[in-house]
Chains A and B, each alone.
Chain A
């Protein structure tokens, strides 16, 4: 069973605030990912990490930043939130495997910036 957690589940915040979305997994997975999804749209990869101290930007440009100081923890930070950042943010992880790369997702954080 996948154990990946995201907090908060819902966040409503004013423009200009700094926010950090938390993501933790207890499966010991090396690889972790952040996706952004708007209603009716595909999931877009915004950040990924293949291990501690390794972070890369994804296919969709994002003003957010991430860090990976511990294997289990992959927080996402927005220094100054704007209404255009309103979206659902999904964190995922996957094990290092030569056979498959299914990703396990957390429940997501629904962010609304007023």
Chain B
């Protein structure tokens, strides 16, 4: 049973517009969430994270929003650039439970068209 779900396998947006990638989770013990970006033939690269004590974290063009009651988080990229085209993975961990293992979603492939 998937604990972290990314229901959109792919997303296509125009350069300069906003990209919104969504992620849902089922385990209420998760208290730390991360987004990774992955180019083909490379390993994932950490992008941004958020603790469950916050509902928003911003880093430049990237903002992550967390809605704990809905068990939902989203990554906003504004403005989107062609170089943002990659697969984005959502990940979660339950640090309060003593586990530092990450549980990943299946990823969303973002394509930013010039």
* Chain A interfacial positions (CB closer than 8 Å to B): 4, 6, 9, 31, 33, 40-45, 48, 58-59, 90-92, 94, 100-108, 110
Total number of residue pairs linking A and B with CB closer than 8 Å: 57
* Chain B interfacial positions (CB closer than 8 Å to A): 2, 4, 9, 32, 34, 36, 41-46, 49, 89, 93, 95, 100-107
Q: Which of B9, B36, B41, B49 contacts A100 (CB 8 A)?
A: B49
A105 closest partner in B (C-beta): B43
Smallest CB separation, B46 vs chain A (Å)? 5
Given A42-B104, A101-B102, 18 other A-B contacts at CB below 8 A? A6-B43, A33-B101, A40-B9, A40-B106, A40-B107, A42-B2, A42-B105, A42-B106, A43-B44, A94-B100, A101-B93, A101-B95, A105-B36, A105-B43, A105-B44, A108-B41, A108-B42, A110-B41
Do A102 and B43 have beta carbons less than 8 Å apart? no
List 7 A–B pairs whose Cβ atoms lie within 8 Å, in order of A's numbering.
A40-B9, A43-B44, A43-B102, A48-B101, A59-B101, A100-B49, A105-B36
Task: Give the chain A neighbours of B44 by CB distance below 8 A.
Answer: 43, 90, 105
Do A90 and B43 have beta carbons less than 8 Å apart? yes
A102 closest partner in B (C-beta): B46
Task: Give the chain A neighbours of B34 by CB distance below 8 A.
Answer: 102
Do B100 and A31 have beta carbons less than 8 Å apart? yes
Smallest CB separation, B92 vs chain A (Å)? 11
A101 to B89, CA, bound (A): 16
Smallest CB separation, A11 vs chain B (Å)? 14
B48 closest partner in A (C-beta): A102
A46 to B101, CA, bound (A): 11
Do A107 and B43 have beta carbons less than 8 Å apart? yes
A41 to B89, CA, bound (A): 10
A104 to B101, CA, bound (A): 13
Task: Give the chain A neighbours of B107 by CB distance below 8 A.
Answer: 40, 42
The 7 closest A-B pairs by CB, nearest first: A105-B43, A42-B104, A43-B104, A101-B100, A42-B106, A102-B46, A105-B44
